[in-house]
């Protein structure tokens, strides 16, 4: 019986060693798989970050272009405002000048103009 007991002990020891070897080997493999999954996620996030950077750069360029257009429009508004002011001033002078005419002056002007 001692001989059988030794054989069972050896078989049991072999099974325990086999299970332990497979367990630790799978742990290493699982760690590598997890590392690969994490690396894939990091690569994916880096790709997305790069994509968002390009989109942000494009939007920044659009903002700069729109700001330039806005500055140009503001310059045009200032120029138009200056022109309107000059026209108002010239018109006010003409109105003031017309207000100096009497009715007889106007009648004389129209008569001479349409006399021909």
| Cβ-proximal residues to 26 (8 Å cutoff; 6+ apart), any chain | none
Mean pLDDT score, 2-17:
83
| Cβ-proximal residues to 101 (8 Å cutoff; 6+ apart), any chain | 109
Q: What is the pLDDT of residues 90-105, one digit of tens each?
A: 888 877 777 777 888 8
Gap between the Cα atoms of 97 and 109, Å rounded: 14
Q: What is the pLDDT of residues 32-75, one digit of tens each?
A: 788 899 999 999 999 999 999 999 999 999 999 999 999 999 99
115 phi/psi in degrees, rounded to 5: -70, -35
Indicate the helix (H) or strand (E) that contains 8: helix 2-99
The predicted pLDDT at position 1 comes to 56
Give the sign of the dihedral formed by CA 103, CA 105, CA 108, CA 114: negative
Q: Output the six-digit token pair for 50.
A: 């790069």
- Structural domain boundaries in the chain: 2-114
Please tell me whether residue 91 adopts helix, strand or coil conformation. Answer: helix
């Amino acid at each position: 019986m001692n001989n059988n007991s030794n054989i069972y002990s050896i078989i049991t020891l072999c099974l325990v060693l086999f299970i332990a070897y497979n367990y630790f080997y799978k742990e290493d493999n699982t760690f590598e798989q997890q590392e690969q999954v994490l690396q894939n996620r990091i690569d994916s996030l880096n790709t997305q970050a790069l994509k968002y950077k390009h989109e942000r750069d494009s939007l920044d360029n659009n903002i700069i272009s729109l700001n330039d257009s806005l500055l140009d429009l503001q310059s045009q508004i200032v120029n138009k405002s200056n022109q309107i002011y000059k026209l108002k001033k010239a018109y006010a002078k003409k109105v003031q000048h017309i207000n100096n005419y009497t009715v007889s002056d106007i009648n004389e002007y129209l008569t001479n103009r349409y006399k021909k």
